[in-house]
Amino acid sequence: MPPSGGFLAGENARASLLMIGAMACFSLNDMMVKLLSATMDFPQIMALRGVIVSTLLIALALYRGTLRPLGRLRHRSVLLRTLADILTTVSYISALKHLPLGNASAVFQALPFTITIGAALFLGERVGWRRWLAIAVGFLGVLVILRPTGDGFNIYAVWVLVSVVFAAMRDLVTRRMPASISSLQVATVTSIAVATTGFLMLPAVGWSPVSATNWLTLVFAAFAIGSGYILIVASMRTGDMSFVAPFRYSILLFAMLLGATVFGERPDVYEIAGSLIVVGSGAYTIHREGVVRRMARRAAAA
């Protein structure tokens, strides 16, 4: 039997590199969004960045001939994933201005636990006591990072947790999407929807002047988020999830490096300890998911 649940070793290696690349792109995007948030509100960032990234993705799709057939994009899973991505973006960007980059990224790493809970509640996946224990430990790690009785916990930290819930919904839907819908199609429709949402929200916050530096930052952010969209969808479709998912945690390294370099952020002992707990328990959760899936396949084949 092929390793890692039916995926070839080469596919898993390629998927892990795609995931690391996606995390690097998302960290760069977060850094640039945080820079932009000093002079404009998040709906304007969503709108302008969305226009740029949508233009880039549409051009790429037309060049590769993958934009059609458009009828596939009316699939329920695409619509649901797009809605979840919009809500993830709104909640996360609204918090990013007020939180250290590394802190926000560390809290977001509760995503694998939330995906497991969602799979148990909505997809009927059986979750054993080991994974429930790992989930509990993981959320304990999140509490260590946030310190509910200290300065680390505020409404913006809650917004990151809200974004985790919507991101879990997005990723669970992605697993159920038909293979006939390309990653580029999904990325394109998502970016258009996010941009449209930003423009719809603009009247509530008003328009801020956009400097040449801000336009340049927006272009780089658009390249980063557009590349991240494509890479993460491709990664989830290329390799076995239990093998690929732990590489999500590379975003912590990227975020802490960028936070220290660009914003002068220094994670304290609570953030470091909590991040280690989250990463360790998350990696174990993912490992157990892989074990359970392989046992189920062997039982079915017997």
Mean pLDDT, residues 187-211 taken together: 92
Confidence grade of residue 86 (pLDDT, cut at 50, 70, 90): very high
Among 116-125, 184-193, 208-217, 254-263, where is mean pLDDT lowest?
A: 116-125
d(CA 282, CA 275): 10
Specify the pLDDT at position 85: 92
Half-sphere exposure in the Cβ direction for 185 (13 Å, CA): 21
Q: Lowest-confidence range among 16-25, 41-50, 101-110, 148-157?
A: 148-157
Model confidence pLDDT, tens digit, residues 27-82: 999 999 999 999 999 999 999 999 999 998 888 888 877 666 555 666 788 889 99
In the chain, pLDDT over 90 holds for what percent of residues?
34
Residue 50: the pLDDT is 92
Higher pLDDT, 261 or 296: 261
Residue among 66, 148, 58 nearest 107 (CA): 148
Give residue 210's pLDDT band: very low, low, confident or very high (50, 70, 90): very high
Q: Two tokens at 289?
A: 């998911």
Residue in this structure with the two tokens 């505020």, named with its chain if needed: 154
Distance of CA 219 to the CA centre of its chain: 20
What residues have CB less than 8 Å from 188, skipping those under 6 apart? 54, 57, 58, 61, 67
Q: How far apart are CA 243 and CA 236, in angstroms?
A: 10
pLDDT value at residue 242: 64
Q: What is the mean pLDDT of residues 1-19?
A: 67
Q: What is the pLDDT of residue 68?
A: 62
Q: Check whether 26 has a pLDDT greater than 50.
A: yes
Count Cβ atoms below 10 Å from residue 176 Cβ, excluding itself.
12
State the pLDDT at residue 77.
83
* CA 2 vs CA 26, 103, 183, 239: distances in Å: 31, 38, 25, 12
Contact status, residue 115 vs residue 172, Cβ threshold 8 Å: yes
Three-state SS for 40?
A: coil
DSSP, residue by residue, 151-163? TT-SHHHHHHHHH
Q: Over the chain, what is the mean pLDDT?
A: 84
